[in-house]
Amino acid sequence: MLLPPIASLNISNTTSAPPSSEGITTISHHPTQGESPYLSQVRKIAVLVDPYSTGCIIAQEMQKRGLLIIALWTTGFSEEMKLHVPTSCGRMDYFAQVDQQLTLEETRKVLLEAADGHVIVACLAGGEAGVDFADALSEYLEQTRAAAVVGAAAAGAGSKLSTKLSNQAILTNGTEIPNRRDKYVQQELIKQAGLRSVRQAGSDKFEDVEGFLKTEAYPIVLKPNESAGSDGVKLCYSFDEAKEHFEKLMSSQLVNGGECPSVLCQEFLKGTEFVVDHVSRDGVHKTCMIWVYDKRKANGANFVYFGMKPVDPTTEQAKILINYTRRVLDAMGILHGPTHAEIMMTAEGPCLVEMNCRAHGGDGRWRPLAVALTGGYSQVEVTADAFLDPKAFSRVPDKPTYPFKASGQEVMFVNFSSGKVKSTPGFDVIRALPSFVHMDSFVSPGAEVDYTVDLVTGIGGVILMHQDQEVVKRDIEFIRYLEEINGFFIYETKLENLKRPRGDDILLKTSTPTVATKDGKHLHRRVFSSDGPSLIRHLSNDRPELRGPLMKRMTTVDSSQEAVVIVDPYSTGCCVAEEIVKRGFSVIALWTKEFAPEMKMHVPLSCGALNYLAEVEEADTLMATSDIVHMAAGKLRVVACLAGGEEELTAGKLRVVACLAGGEAGVDLADKLSEFMKVRTNGTNIPNRRDKKVQQEIIRKHGLRSVRQAGGANFADVEEFLKSEPYPVVLKPVESAGSDGVKLCHSFQEAKEHFHVLMKSQMVNGGQCPAVLCQEFLRGKEYVVDHVSRDGEHKTVMLWVYDKRPCHGSAFVYFGCIPVDSESPEAKILIPYVRGVLDALEFKNGPSHAEVMMTPDGPCLVEMNCRAHGGDGNWRPLCVALNGGYSQVEATVDAYLDKRQFMILPDKPPSPFKAAGQEVILVSYGRGTVKATPGFEDIKKLPSFVYLETGVRPGSQVDYTVDLFTGIGSVILMHHDSNVVKEDIRRIRQMEKNNELFVFENQVGSMRSPSLMGLSKHVD
């Protein structure tokens, strides 16, 4: 109660209330003559300093008990935060709102005027920013109340009312500890009390903390001394980073509305983080609830909050926490009111992170759960009891009873994707869960969301509660599944790159595997096997079975006197060249026009150094090129001409017996030249066999399932198709130009825009895109079927299926390439279909690499690559092990140079395979600048490791994998024990999910607790 001194009593019957804000109203009391005695009676008032978040809920609880509420806003408190009212409160109806004045006395007078004759009986902090002033003001109000009672008694002015209320003291923690919410002060106080505290140093001058920062083990936590919320708290990994953040904190306006008085540098506590909520009165501390944070690694961050779970208060650990927390409260001189302690249970026992001298924040969304768990109360109700009803407070249990009366927890949503939100269907599904109680979502249509790495990037949370524990468990599992499949949001449509891992791309003059960012970092983009000079490769040296013996196979010619021409030998073409050299032939490298000089240096790691007999350049005509090759061959007889990369040509001084395309861009030239030189050829009856549109039209004519499509160099040629075909629609360059260009478009406008991009852009094959192909989007499993043919006889050398999954908001992320049993039902359908495609395309000789989608209507060709399987041939050791001695590389050389050996090759791979293995395509679950790559070293130690290929190194900027361009590499695994392979795959996936592949620079951002979620600027 507040009875002002008689001499200063000056109560006005009019209230000067500040303008009402949206969601907050001010109710003024104006007694009038003849008014009802029930309306004119003196009522009790509680003053809440900076009421927001849970403070609003406490205010409403006190209103329910008949009190009037005055909101007192401290100097600097933002107007935005005055509007922050929890959704559970609806709107706030304050009796009055006043602002802090220059002095306590001036503030008291303003309160008295606003009280309008009613009596102030309580003054408490409604949020973190109000703690210091609430302590000072409540102390001052109690002093003046006590003095007024004494003065009134001495003057004989006590009335019936004053006698009734004079003994009700205004509870206060006082100002004996002038700034108890200062984190540095907190740690020093508990250290003096003999309690475990954090090693620390704090000051407003950097030189005062410099010694600590130079001697303390990193990482180190830097934070503003005052509990200012989510801004400012950071985990720093180096002295320079700590120095930079110190200066930032000192110069920035913190969220409590004032300048940061100093910065606190603390040891980084390792352990399990708990929350212990109390309410105190007269030094008696009642434990309202203990919670434990569910923190995990996610999206490249080490500390992402997944939830908050109630803790059994009867466990030994809980007993230790309760005892420690109460001793902290005593050391800090906290006698009254709610507190919210964050404590780390370290290896040495509990250690205070910080003591928040106010109620648990988070908009009080935990309140219904706490009430259900305890069977009727939470920190909110007990706070009202402590200030207003001491008898009720005395009846509150010392700690919650156990077992709890219900089951439940708070689940914090974690987002694994990014984009502009079109709708939020996942939130509607969550509201329908059986255990749903309350949800806070910070996302609405039109918002841009990112991957959750801290509280700032959080998207909301939900309180679940049910009498049946199994119901809660199932609902949590469902929410986690919803997160995994990115089911929360539907995003605005965006272009998605659909190029496949075996595109074997040639990046020519404009090849840039890394992209410079504004800060000078290099953003890693998917480095394909053909980007050779930029790659890091690791081949196992500890697997004797991978180093096959040098084999001299019988051939149909005298190899020592003959040469083979390989056009653009790179990637798998180098593997073919090496195999030819092993068989005693000399190899001439013929480089086509526009082939990038840096790509000439690209040799797969498995090949070592290749010594060519000669290297020559393509001439303007076939005849001139043939002459150049003949001159290079000298007296040797040219027996074959192969394309080693994406292009191909042939030549020979004497008799040329073979000419084959070793890469995609060389297919047309190889066909023409082999036909011109009258050697084994696929001919030019189909003039542009590698044209995707041509391929689809041909197989359609032969009755094979083909893609609905339209193509042309003018948009008018495809406009009708784009207006009638269901979306999404695939747009790609007509020629197989590699990774650039293939896009999934979700609307007519996107398709039109991308059409023009493809027509204007320089394609990766070195020439202008002659046309654009628009195709239906095929749905189903995607397979690869590799063949080698001779004179129209097709031998299946391997079948693969792509492991594609939704990830990070993208529907199609490649996780691997898995061998398929040749006797499986799928293989029995795929092999005849692909061979029919080869016959329809009149492909009779050489290697081929078919990409086929198994749709509900059966297999459908995506594209036929009339060259060997790409990817540096790093799959070769695996294929040799699976097949028991051969791969597409050996079979290709047999087809051109050893008819007898080709004839005895099996028609298809053995079933079962002779070994186990697959390609694992690495997926990044983090974002940042790579400091180190320890995961790669761990992968190389796996028992089944064969080969690792990556473009990521220290200094690379990696992002979340959403397509091949954001992929981070691939690994070949092989072992004769399938369980070993399975375990190694599990370990790699675990390293990906836990972000153990990389150590990032500046990995962690905000480290504030989840009780602050949803407060954008001014927080608890």
How does pLDDT run across 409-458, given as a tens digit for each residue?
999 999 988 889 999 999 999 999 999 998 888 789 999 999 998 878 88
pLDDT of residue 556: 47
- The confidence band for 656, taking pLDDT boundaries of 50, 70 and 90, is low
More confident residue, 931 or 626: 931
Instruction: Give residue-wise pLDDT tens across range 525-561.
Output: 444 443 444 566 676 666 555 555 444 454 445 677 7
If you average pLDDT over residues 18-36, what whole number do you get?
49
Instruction: Return the closest-CA partner of residue 648 out of 792, 845, 897, 795.
Output: 845
pLDDT of residue 507: 36
Q: How far from chain centre, in Å, is Cα 947?
A: 27
Flag whether pLDDT at 177 surpasses 70. Answer: yes
pLDDT of residue 873: 87
438 close to 88: Cβ distance less than 8 angstroms: yes
Lowest mean pLDDT among 632-636, 774-778, 939-943: 632-636
Is omega for the bond preceding 403 within 30 degrees of 0, making it cis? yes
Flag whether pLDDT at 766 surpasses 50. Answer: no
pLDDT of residue 687: 84
Q: How far from chain centre, in Å, is Cα 747?
A: 27
pLDDT of residue 737: 41
pLDDT of residue 553: 52
More confident residue, 550 or 994: 994
Lowest mean pLDDT among 212-221, 255-264, 761-770: 761-770
pLDDT of residue 547: 54
| 522 class by beta-carbon count within 10 Å (0-12 exposed, 13-18 middle, 19+ buried) | middle
If you average pLDDT over residues 385-402, what whole number do you get?
97
pLDDT of residue 874: 85
Instruction: Give residue-wise pLDDT tens across range 138-167.
Output: 999 999 999 888 887 777 755 544 444 456
If you average pLDDT over residues 98-102, what whole number do you get?
97
Lowest mean pLDDT among 350-359, 538-547, 678-687, 869-878: 538-547
785 close to 796: Cβ distance less than 8 angstroms: yes
More confident residue, 814 or 739: 814
- The confidence band for 84, taking pLDDT boundaries of 50, 70 and 90, is confident
pLDDT of residue 39: 63
pLDDT of residue 591: 84
Is omega for the bond preceding 1010 within 30 degrees of 0, making it cis? no
47 close to 62: Cβ distance less than 8 angstroms: no
More confident residue, 793 or 510: 793
- Between the ranges 509-518, 521-530, 647-656, 926-935, where is the mean pLDDT highest? 926-935
- For strand 234-236 and strand 284-298, is the pairing parallel, antiparallel, or unpaired? unpaired
Flag whether pLDDT at 699 surpasses 90. Answer: yes
pLDDT of residue 532: 45
- The confidence band for 459, taking pLDDT boundaries of 50, 70 and 90, is very high
Beta bridge partners of 591: 617
991 close to 920: Cβ distance less than 8 angstroms: no
879, containing H or E segment: helix 876-883
If you average pLDDT over residues 114-130, what whole number do you get?
94
Flag whether pLDDT at 504 surpasses 60. Answer: no
pLDDT of residue 1012: 52
Q: Hey, what are 911's tokens?
A: 């079933």
pLDDT of residue 338: 98
**Would you mind telling me the total number of residues written for the chain in this entry?**
1020
Flag whether pLDDT at 4 surpasses 80. Answer: no
More confident residue, 504 or 6: 504
Flag whether pLDDT at 979 surpasses 90. Answer: yes
pTM over 0.75: no
Measured distance CA(811)–CA(429) in Å, rounded: 20
What is the residue type of 145?
A: R
Per the prediction, the chain carries an average pLDDT of 83
If you average pLDDT over residues 650-674, what whole number do you get?
64
- Per-position DSSP letters for 440-483, written without gaps between them: EE---TT-EE---SSSTT--EEEEEEESSHHHHHHHHHHHHHHH
More confident residue, 976 or 663: 976
More confident residue, 512 or 177: 177
Flag whether pLDDT at 17 surpasses 50. Answer: no
Instruction: Give residue-wise pLDDT tens across range 269-318.
Output: 999 999 999 999 999 999 999 999 999 888 878 788 999 999 999 999 99
- For strand 562-567 and strand 637-643, is the pairing parallel, antiparallel, or unpaired? parallel
More confident residue, 503 or 643: 643
pLDDT of residue 455: 79
- Phi-psi group of 830: left, alpha or beta (phi > 0 → left; psi -120 to 50 → alpha; rest → beta): alpha
If you average pLDDT over residues 15-22, what whole number do you get?
38
* Cα distance between the two ends of the chain: 28
573 close to 600: Cβ distance less than 8 angstroms: no
% pLDDT > 70, the chain:
80
pLDDT of residue 965: 77
% pLDDT > 90, the chain:
53
Measured distance CA(888)–CA(877) in Å, rounded: 11
Flag whether pLDDT at 721 surpasses 70. Answer: yes
